[in-house]
Amino acid sequence: MAFDLIRRVQSLGSPRILVVGDLILDRYVWGYAERISQEAPVPLLRADHREHRLGGAASVATMLAALGAKVTLVGGVGHDREGDLVRQLLHDQGIDHGPVISLDDRPTTLKERYIGRAQDRHPQQMIRVDYEVRSPITAVAELEITNGLSDQIAAADIVLISDYDKGICTPSLLRKLIDACRVAGVRVIADPIRSDDYSRYRGVHCMTPNRLEAQLATGMTIACPDDAIVIGRKLIRDLGMESVLVTLDRDGMALVRSDGRSEIVPTRPRQVYDITGAGDMVLSIVGLCLAAGADYDEAATLGNVAGGLEVEKIGVALLSREEILRDLIEHQEGGSGKVYDRASLLSEVKRRRDIGQKIVFTNGCFDLLHVGHTRLLRKAADLGDYLIVGLNDDESVRRLKGPSRPINPETSRAEVLAALESVSAVTLFEDDTPLGLIEAILPDVLVKGGDYRPEEVVGREVVEASGGRLVLIPLVEGHSTSNMVRRASDRTLTPHPAQAAFPAPTVRNHASRPSPGLPASRPASE
């Protein structure tokens, strides 16, 4: 499934999306909340920074633009500085905002958030102040918006309704919009308001209510995820939809279709910093995927991923396709499946490079893992984003080390390496050197132990010719697999050099097998 989703994100293209709804300006005032005010028992914010972001339907439009869609936005702003700022931000994002009208009877909706930092902890929202008028727009303003809708719908691959109950999405405007979409054969998806009457959305193809909105709309309760499926079926019957996605925060999403199919789409645990913008992101991704030809299963799963990434950020934040791809790749199925064959590894390397990650490569036998190995691997991992370990298979180890090696078979050695957090991927190679593997991967960084001279490192010239570099990491003194084997088989149990300051343990009448006489080898090859 993960590979299918990765391919879907990579093939989204640039669909044309029409967004209709309430435009909001989000203002963030940042500062340090270091003490309590002397005037009242409230935190005192020492402001040091202010920024503006687009919210509401404008947020959906900017999210879509950041994800590569061609966006046209329909809505309204006031005759004020905030309205001018909204238009400027839309222009900067490359969003077609020609259909955004100026409203005479209200200011631009503004949400002002105060964000406090304290003792270098994660910043927290302290208070939000809203400046708005929520009454329906005038009939004149509605007519100005609806006059151009038919042409705008005809030019779109999908239409999204972002209703924040600020007056733009009147029942009559939505009826004209939905009917026109049905006539044109263009899907329309709605992110609804909190209301006990969803008749204004009748005829949309899909909607994305959250847990509370779905309960209010139906008068039913979601005590467990399966209850959301029951609610979804009712919404589909009442509103004539082909699908509904009920977002359930930590429980993922309930996806219900008109043909009777339903499922709970799970999400993975996230560190939630701010839920602002999560609903907008779900609508954006679902709309983008459906416009690009995805089915509802893919759209829901990717909506879950993107919504999860959004709550890990402060405020309404934009995501790129690269961020979504990175999350999919990092958490694809088979977390323990870090052991790749050659073909699968090369596909994975390409995906990593496509999202801008730096590839690091090192190799060895890694027969008995010791502290020298783990330190080298940690340092190697710090040199890039994705550390690949090329592992000698059993036959090549025997050729290099002698008939008594390896101590552990290749499957065990690969599994142990894959369990290390620093290691991203393990792949076996059967040749005496990893040259063929290095030529196939062309890593950005090639790593070997510091006991090698640069001219001795296999693959150095190939890597440097492709723009990469060689890094030699100093070895940990006194550690090698061969020495470990000798000490384990030596009846005197000579202490490790690191234990020189401590007395050797006393050995009492322990029979020991003769030393197998393993050949000497350099630690960097272990």
Asked whether 480 and 372 are in contact (CB, 8 A), the reply is yes
Taken in order 213, 216, 217, 220, the sign of the CA dihedral is positive
Asked whether 474 and 452 are in contact (CB, 8 A), the reply is no
Q: Which DSSP letter does residue 197 get?
A: -
User: Helices 171-184 and 139-146: crossing angle, nearest 10°?
Assistant: 10
Q: Which DSSP letter does residue 389 get?
A: E
Long-range contacts of 462-468 (CB under 8 A, 24+ apart): 462/435, 462/438, 463/438, 466/442, 468/442, 468/443, 468/444
Q: What is the CA radius of gyration of the chain?
A: 30
**CB within 8 Å of 312: residues ≥ 6 apart:** 270, 271, 272, 273
Q: Is the peptide bond before 99 cis (omega within 30 degrees of 0)?
A: no
User: Helices 296-311 and 278-291: crossing angle, nearest 10°?
Assistant: 150
**CB within 8 Å of 114: residues ≥ 6 apart:** 29, 31, 45, 47, 125, 126, 127, 128, 129
**CB within 8 Å of 289: residues ≥ 6 apart:** 8, 12, 298, 299, 302, 303
Query: Residue 287: which H helix or E strand, with range?
Result: helix 278-291
Phi-psi region of 478 (alpha: psi -120 to 50; beta: other; left: phi over 0): left
Cα distances (Å, whole numbers) of residue 34 to 3, 37, 122, 306, 314 = 47, 10, 13, 34, 20
Adjacent-strand bridge partners of 159: 18, 188
SS (H, E, C) 477-497: CCCCHHHHHHHHHCCCCCCCH
Name the residue type at position 131. Y
Annotated active-site residue in 22, 274, 280, 444: 280
SS3 of 30, please?
A: strand
SS (H, E, C) 86-147: HHHHHHHCCCECCCEEEECCCCCEEEEEEEEECCCCCCEEEEEEEECCCCCCCHHHHHHHHC
Asked whether 451 and 523 are in contact (CB, 8 A), the reply is yes
In the block, which residue shows the tokens 């101590």? 407
Our answer to whether residue 96 is catalytic in this structure is: no
Q: What share of the chain is helix, strand, coil (3-state, %, to 5)?
A: 40, 25, 40
Q: Which DSSP letter does residue 442 get?
A: -
- Active centre residues (catalytic): 280
